[in-house]
Amino acid sequence: MSPCAQLYRAETGKAVWQFVADLKENGLQHGLLIHNEDHMEMANTFGSHGVQVADGFDLHMIQVCKPEKAAGSLQKNPERAALMPKFITVFSAAGRTQVRFLRLNREMIEELVHDAEFAVSVGATYDEIERVIQESL
């Protein structure tokens, strides 16, 4: 039995902020936008809710979106919305910038929303996100 999801893992010697800047620039070339740019730094987000984090906590949860594709997809089937947010997480560990991206497999997507067309489409978007990550490392 194949896993329901895979966790893509990569790392780079770039600083977190540089990787994020490169990801934004490369994403634009593929029609991908950072949807939550003003809220992706989790230290700031937690702080805005009165929660303190350790010095040096630099986790970024980056929501990427392809607006043209997403708008058409959601109009066709709003059930897809639960699976639409795509997050790339970026953080420092052992002096390197770590990158993670979770992708569900096609069978799981089909089972969750009963929509084979969407499962294929999301798989293509996952591939594109991983290409943008690779270009940004």
Q: What is the mean pLDDT of residues 9-30?
A: 97
Identify the pLDDT of residue 2. 66
| Strand order from edge to edge, sheet including 96-104 | 5-12, 96-104, 86-93, 60-65, 33-34
What is the pLDDT of the chain when averaged over all its residues? Answer: 94
Annotated domain spans of the chain: 5-136
- Residue-wise pLDDT for 23-60, tens only, equals 999 999 999 999 999 999 999 999 999 999 999 999 99
The SS3 call for residue 135 is helix
- At residue 49's C-alpha, the angle toward residues 44 and 53, to 5°, is 55
Q: What is the pLDDT of residue 114?
A: 92
Q: Does the structural domain 5-136 have CATH classification 1.10.10.10?
A: no
Q: Which pLDDT does position 3 carry in this prediction?
A: 86
Q: What angle do CA 24, 39, 10 make, to 5 degrees?
A: 50
